[in-house]
Amino acid sequence: MIESPKAQFLNRQTQPHMATLILMVSISALAMNIFLPSLPRMADEFGTSAAILGLSVSVYLAVSALVQLFSGPLSDMQGRRQVTLWSIALFTAVSIAITFCQSTESFLILRAIQSVIASVFVISRAIVRDTTDTASSGSRIAYIMMGMALVPMFGPALGGVIDAYFGWRANFWILSLLGVALWLNCFFDLGETAPTADVKFRAHFALYPDLLRSKRFWGYCFTSALGSGAFFAYLGGAPFVGSEIFRLSPEALGLFFGAPAAGYFLGNFFSGRFSSQIGLDAMIFWGLALNLFGLTASLAVFYNGMGSAISFFGLMTFVGFGNGLSIPNATAGMLAIRPDLAGAASGLGSAIMIAGGAALSALAGAVLTPTSGATPLLWLMWSSVAAGVICMIYVKKRHRSIQTS
């Protein structure tokens, strides 16, 4: 961790302001879901199915995993600032290009390139590790994620309204303008924080074995990936459930779709407030437990013949709340293993989470049919979280064995 003056907004001689870090992760999240309520209308315009266009989520997540895998180490070597500014510039250019798409193929290709914005998600968390001690990093990451949670809460609703009045392309014009604003903000506020910036490629990667040999690092990675897997499966399946099973309009789907984000906002608030006192591992367990509770309750409602759009989306708030408790603390845990490799740890952890999310998102689309109801999606989400609980049990046992040895 480097010592730097207290943050002053738009002064890159001090550490980056919290508002800048929140904006960095927020635009990355907005790009993922603002257009989802528009998928049925986009499918009609491109002459394809909503299921095929729904692959844009999986494609975005899959390429995001690769972007995050390399952007973290790259920011360790070349600096957080340089990688951030180039990533935002490319994202903005591609967002403009998407507004001119005339085919499914061009849209999917450009969406893949647009995922370069995922690098700023990795870098924002690495910056926290650069400028904050281990005890406080979980809380600070939670506050950043709490700010980000507002975006998916309102993003689909905003996207549905914009689509209704101006068409789906207007959503990508909005992303373009936000990209310009974010670039200017980072140019003036984001100074360099990486402690190993300008380290040679070979020397940097010589540090990796200690990180990769850590069983606790892998435990935290997979706990985060599997716990959040429920949300990614939701991203891939909920638009179909809402539009094809519950017959919701794009505007209504946009409003319902943000339900998990409301819970995520509250979960991150609790993490920011109590992680330092309760501890990382305990917060992760509570988060996974609440996640499972919401999914189990939803399954019970559907098997009793009382499932509805309100019950399905409403109980997803528990999934969001649980992730708000578990993800920031699991992230802080993995970054604490080797603070001098925070970018690499953040990138690898995010890549695993997003790669698993892309697979679950695609699988969610495959298991749902107009006659299946929502239960296949709920079981897929439940199984992912249950596997996350198993990983966390391993982390706890490993931690105890280290303390007693």
CA distance 81 to 90: 15
So what's the pLDDT on residue 311?
93
Q: How many CA atoms lie within 13 A of 265 on its CB side?
A: 14
So what's the pLDDT on residue 390?
92
Question: Is the pLDDT score of 72 beyond 80?
Answer: no
* Rounded mean pLDDT, 217-228: 88
Query: 277: exposed, middle or buried (C-beta count within 10 Å: 0-12, 13-18, 19+)?
Result: exposed
Q: How many CA atoms lie within 13 A of 15 on its CB side?
A: 20
Question: Is the pLDDT score of 2 beyond 50?
Answer: no
* Rounded mean pLDDT, 136-164: 76
Q: Residue 34 has what DSSP assignment? A: T
User: Would you say the pTM of this structure is higher than 0.85?
Assistant: no
Task: Show the tokens assigned to 141.
Answer: 């990451």
So what's the pLDDT on residue 293?
96
* Rounded mean pLDDT, 379-396: 91
Task: Show the tokens assigned to 111.
Answer: 């969406």
Centroid of chain to Cα 87: 17
Question: Higher pLDDT residue, 54 or 228?
Answer: 228
The 10s digit of each residue's pLDDT in 253-285 is 877 887 887 888 888 888 878 887 888 888 999
* Rounded mean pLDDT, 149-164: 79
Question: Is the pLDDT score of 91 beyond 90?
Answer: yes
> Residue with structure tokens 């309760």?
278
Mean pLDDT, all residues of the chain: 83
Question: Is the pLDDT score of 202 beyond 70?
Answer: no
Q: Tell me which residue of 148, 153, 141, 142 sits closest to 117, measured CA to CA.
A: 148
CA distance 282 to 290: 13
Question: For a pLDDT cut of 70, what percent of the chain falls above it?
Answer: 89
Concatenating the DSSP letter of every residue in 86-132 gives HHHHHHHHHHHHHTT--SHHHHHHHHHHHGGGHHHHHHHHHHHHHHS
The 10s digit of each residue's pLDDT in 322-342 is 998 998 888 888 877 777 677
Positions of E strands within 286-402: none
Helix residue spans in 34-54 (DSSP H): 39-46, 50-53
Question: Higher pLDDT residue, 19 or 377?
Answer: 377
So what's the pLDDT on residue 179?
95
* Rounded mean pLDDT, 126-131: 80
Q: Tell me which residue of 141, 88, 146, 79 sits closest to 119, measured CA to CA.
A: 88
Question: Higher pLDDT residue, 207 or 307?
Answer: 307
Question: Is the pLDDT score of 106 beyond 80?
Answer: yes
Question: Higher pLDDT residue, 66 or 195?
Answer: 66
In what helix (H) or strand (E) does residue 136 lie, and over which residues does it extend? Answer: helix 134-166
Q: Which long-range contacts (CB under 8 A, 24 or more apart) does 173-178 make?
A: 173/95, 173/96, 173/99, 174/34, 175/27, 175/30, 175/31, 175/34, 175/91, 175/95, 176/92, 176/95, 176/96, 176/99, 178/27, 178/30
Concatenating the DSSP letter of every residue in 231-283 gives HHHHHHHHHHIIIIIS---HHHHHHHHTHHHHHHHHHHHHHHHHHHHH-HHHH
The full set of domains in the chain, from first to last, is: 18-404 (1.20.1250.20)
Least confident segment among 39-48, 126-135, 304-313: 126-135
